[in-house]
C-alpha cells in the first residue's frame, strides 16, 4: 500500500469499507462522462472469474513477468469495476485502484476478497500519491474519454518509477482499417452523439436496441465468414465480439454509444504522446483491442 500524500476531503462507506474520496472540481475529467460511467459500472460491474480471466489475457498479452510480478506495486487509473485490478492481483504485490466515479462501489465489491487491492475515489488531476511511486501503472480505456489526453498520459507516466512500466489501452483511429470500415464508424459516431445526450433510461434502452440490431447481426456475419476464411472474418466490423458473452456486448454498446466524450488516436499519435511523456521501449500489441501498448520509463 502506498501512503496518501494528502488528506481525503471525504469518505464513502461501501459495504463497511471506507473509500477515501479525493475528487475535486479541478480534475482532468468530463463530468457527464464520469457520471455516465458510474451508472454503467453499477449496472454491468459484476464479472465471473472466467470472464475476467478471458478478457484480461487480451489486454495484458504484452505484459511480461519482468514488467509485472509479485514485487510490483501497481496503480490502476480509471479502474471502473475493478476487473483488471482483480485480474492482476495474484501476479502483483499490491494494487492501488482509483476512479472518480461511483464505480468505486462495484470496484470495492469485486476486489475486496483479493486482500492486496485498495480502491480510492480519485482520478487524473487529483491522484493522491507521490510521483514515481509505482513499478507498474495501467490505465485501460480511460485517457480517450478525457479533455486533455496528453496531460493524462504525462501524469500516468509521472507516477511510474524509473525503469517501471506503463500499460495503456487507447481507442484507435481505425488507422489499420478500410475506407468502408471508417465510413461505418463515422455514421455510428453521429448516433453516439445523439444517444449519449439522452437521459439514462432512454440511453440504456437505445444501447440495448443497438446491441440486438447491430452487434448481433455482425457477430452472426463474422461467424458465417469464419466458416470459409479466418482472416476474412477478422475484417468484418465488430468481429471482436464474435465470441464475447452477451453481457459484454450490451456493456460495450453502452460504453460505445452512451459515453459523451470519446476521442481516437493512431499508433503514431500515441507514440508521440508517450515520447512527450518521457517513455521509451514503446511496444504495441498486434492483437485487439486496438491499441494497447506498453512503455518503459
Give the nearest distance from C-beta 78 to ligand SAM in angstroms. 3
Q: x-or-dash pattern for ligand SAM, window 153-182, by CB under 6 A?
A: ------------------------------
Among 56, 80, 128, 237, interactor with ligand SAM by CB under 6 A = 80
Helices marked H in 6-103 = 31-44, 49-59, 83-89
Give the nearest distance from C-beta 277 to ligand SAM in angstroms. 16
- Between CA 264 and CA 192 the distance in angstroms is 14
Give the nearest distance from C-beta 283 to ligand SAM in angstroms. 20
Going by C-alpha positions, the residue among 78, 131, 130, 109 that lies closest to residue 14 is 109
Among 88, 140, 211, 294, interactor with ligand SAM by CB under 6 A = 140
Q: Is 78 near ligand SAM (CB under 6 A)? A: yes
Distance, first Cα to last Cα, the chain: 21
Q: Which is nearer to ligand SAM, 200 or 233 (CB)?
A: 200
Nine-digit cell at 194? 445523439
Give the nearest distance from C-beta 296 to ligand SAM in angstroms. 21
- DSSP string covering 113-156: TTSSEEEEB--TT---S-TT-EEEEEEES-GGGSS-HHHHHHHH
- Between CA 5 and CA 234 the distance in angstroms is 47
Q: Is 145 near ligand SAM (CB under 6 A)? A: yes
Q: Is 97 near ligand SAM (CB under 6 A)? A: no
- Between CA 276 and CA 287 the distance in angstroms is 25
Going by C-alpha positions, the residue among 103, 174, 161 that lies closest to residue 133 is 161
Nine-digit cell at 38? 458510474
Residues of 104-143 as b/e, b for ≥16 C-beta within 10 angstroms?
Answer: bbbbbbbbbebebbbbbbbbbbbbbbeeebbbbbbbbbbb
Q: Which is nearer to ligand SAM, 123 or 164 (CB)?
A: 123
Among 56, 123, 237, 258, interactor with ligand SAM by CB under 6 A = 123
Among 21, 96, 99, 269, interactor with ligand SAM by CB under 6 A = 99
Counting beta carbons within 10 angstroms of the beta carbon of residue 95, is it exposed (0 to 12), middle (13 to 18) or buried (19 or more)? buried
Number of residues counted as binding ligand SAM (CB under 6 A): 26
In angstroms, the Cα distances linking 187 to 52, 190, 191, 233 are 31, 5, 7, 22
Q: x-or-dash pattern for ligand SAM, window 200-239, by CB under 6 A?
A: ----------------------------------------
Give the nearest distance from C-beta 29 to ligand SAM in angstroms. 3
- Between CA 219 and CA 210 the distance in angstroms is 13
Give the nearest distance from C-beta 38 to ligand SAM in angstroms. 6
Q: x-or-dash pattern for ligand SAM, window 18-37, by CB under 6 A?
A: ---------xxx---xx--x
Q: Which is nearer to ligand SAM, 133 or 236 (CB)?
A: 133
- The residues that touch ligand SAM, with contacts defined as CB under 6 A, are 27-29, 33-34, 37, 41, 77-81, 83-84, 99-101, 103, 123-124, 140-142, 145-146, 255
Amino acid at each position: 500500500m502506498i501512503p496518501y500524500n494528502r488528506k481525503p476531503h471525504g469518505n464513502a462507506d461501501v459495504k463497511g469499507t471506507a473509500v477515501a474520496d479525493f475528487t475535486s472540481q479541478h480534475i482532468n475529467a468530463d463530468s457527464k462522462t464520469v457520471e455516465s460511467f458510474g451508472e454503467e459500472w453499477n449496472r454491468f460491474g459484476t464479472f465471473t472469474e472466467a470472464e475476467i480471466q478471458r478478457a484480461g489475457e487480451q489486454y495484458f498479452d504484452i505484459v511480461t513477468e519482468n514488467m509485472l510480478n509479485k514485487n510490483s506495486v501497481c496503480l490502476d487509473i480509471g479502474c471502473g469495476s475493478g476487473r483488471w485490478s482483480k485480474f492482476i492481483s495474484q501476479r502483483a504485490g499490491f494494487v492501488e485502484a482509483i476512479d472518480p466515479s461511483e464505480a468505486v462501489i462495484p470496484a470495492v465489491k469485486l476486489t475486496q476478497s483479493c486482500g492486496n487491492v485498495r480502491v480510492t475515489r480519485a482520478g487524473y488531476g487529483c491522484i493522491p500519491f507521490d510521483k514515481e511511486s509505482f513499478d507498474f501503472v495501467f490505465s485501460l480505456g480511460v485517457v480517450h474519454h478525457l479533455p486533455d489526453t496528453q496531460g493524462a498520459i504525462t501524469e500516468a507516466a509521472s507516477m511510474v518509477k524509473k525503469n517501471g512500466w506503463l500499460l495503456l489501452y487507447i481507442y484507435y483511429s481505425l488507422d489499420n482499417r478500410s475506407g468502408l470500415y471508417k465510413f461505418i464508424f463515422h455514421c455510428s459516431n453521429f448516433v453516439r452523439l445523439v444517444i449519449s445526450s439522452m437521459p439514462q433510461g432512454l440511453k440504456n434502452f437505445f444501447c440495448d436496441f443497438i446491441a440486438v440490431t447491430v452487434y448481433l447481426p455482425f457477430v452472426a456475419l463474422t461467424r458465417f465468414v469464419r466458416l470459409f476464411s479466418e482472416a476474412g472474418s477478422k475484417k468484418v466490423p465488430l468481429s471482436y465480439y464474435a465470441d464475447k458473452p452477451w453481457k459484454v456486448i450490451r456493456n460495450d454498446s453502452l460504453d460505445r454509444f452512451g459515453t459523451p466524450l470519446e476521442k481516437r488516436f493512431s499508433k503514431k499519435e500515441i507514440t508521440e504522446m508517450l515520447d512527450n511523456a518521457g517513455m521509451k521501449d514503446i511496444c504495441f500489441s498486434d492483437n485487439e483491442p486496438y491499441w494497447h501498448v506498453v512503455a518503459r520509463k
